[in-house]
Amino acid sequence: MSFSDILGHQKQVEVLKRALQGNRLHHAYLFVGPDGVGKRTVALSLALAIHCTQGDHDSCGQCENCLRIRDGNHPDVRVIGPEASKREITIQQMRDLQRLLEFRSFSGKKKVAIIDPAHQMNYHAQNSLLKTLEDPPGDALIILVAHSTGSLLSTVLSRCLRLYFTFLPAEEVAGFLVRQQGTPQDQATILAMLAGGSLGAALACDAGELLDERNQWIERFSSLSREDYRRVVSLAEEMARDREKALRFLQWIREWYRDILIQQTTGSAGEMKNSDLVHKIRDAASKHSLNHTLSVLSQMGGVAGKLQRNYSRRLVLEDFFIRVVAGDPPRL
């Protein structure tokens, strides 16, 4: 995929394009952000732009190098992840990478190694990689792809240039689904919202399954009350088991309260993301004050940020839910 075809992340792409054009690429990058938003796609697009024989600091998608990278058999581009049946990237894989980087590039251009997901490197693998990061071959480019920095050694982090990726706007995801997948606009809008800004989740999940999940979320979240602490704890524990699901759940809550705000301020359903649930939104809007709705919305980013920084997910979510049902703004 060429840079121009990437959905969103224009600032990150521009940083890489300028570095490539000026021959100032760093020897190691860390792409950090939620799963499914396109970090690996951007990494592969950079590899394509480096090795393409036809494009001008971008890829044509048709030359031999582009085709070989796309098919995963270019000798100078490697994507490294956990081996089959293993949950970790091992020290042996890093040693194999070091040996590979010691050889001269076949193409005369950079040798690119993409480690994804980098947070699954075990301690020994990271220490082994550190040697390469400290004294990299001149024609090597290493890209780490991770959903957070929490499990990476500080010594590894200090030797990488970080680029942060965020969830894509739901409108961009919906537009992609309409253009590329032929999804009806109404269904694409709801699907993009439920995927929480993750194109990967939107493409991987069945629309019906996501709608069922959303309906379960509405039922569970709406049933929370200050009189039943057990429900709060139960929902927090359930969501805390899966970090990405917890982040998508928070994204949905953000959109849910945004719809409530629209109802409270305009009374119109035209701009609602959950437009098929207007009756439920009106009912929820009648039960909350405008100040409470604004308070919840203003704090959502902080709650999601704590989950991304490896705070205790259960405690963060439990505190958030308690304060929502108590009518207080979530504490940060």
- Would you kindly state where each structural domain of the chain is located, as residue ranges? 3-164, 206-326
Is the predicted pLDDT of residue 330 greater than 60, yes or no? no
The radius of gyration computed from the CA coordinates of the chain, to the nearest angstrom, equals 22
Instruction: For residue 85, give Cα distances in angstroms to 82, 88, 113, 164, 247.
Output: 8, 9, 22, 30, 27
Percentage of residues of the chain with pLDDT beyond 70: 98
CATH code linked to domain 3-164: 3.40.50.300
The yes or no reply on domain 206-326 and CATH 1.20.272 is yes
- What would the pLDDT profile of 218-233 be if each residue is shown by its tens digit? 888 888 888 888 999 9
Give the pLDDT mean for 93-100: 93
Is residue 332 very low, low, confident or very high in pLDDT (cuts 50, 70, 90)? very low
pLDDT of residue 277: 85
237 compared with 201, residue with greater pLDDT? 237
Is the predicted pLDDT of residue 295 greater than 80, yes or no? yes
- Residues 6 or more apart in contact with residue 71 via CB below 8 angstroms: none
Reported pTM: 0.73
Distance of alpha carbon 291 from alpha carbon 70, whole angstroms: 51
Is residue 126 very low, low, confident or very high in pLDDT (cuts 50, 70, 90)? very high
Is the predicted pLDDT of residue 329 greater than 70, yes or no? no
Distance of alpha carbon 254 from alpha carbon 299, whole angstroms: 10
Is the predicted pLDDT of residue 328 greater than 70, yes or no? no
Contact 57/22 with Cβ under 8 angstroms?
Answer: no
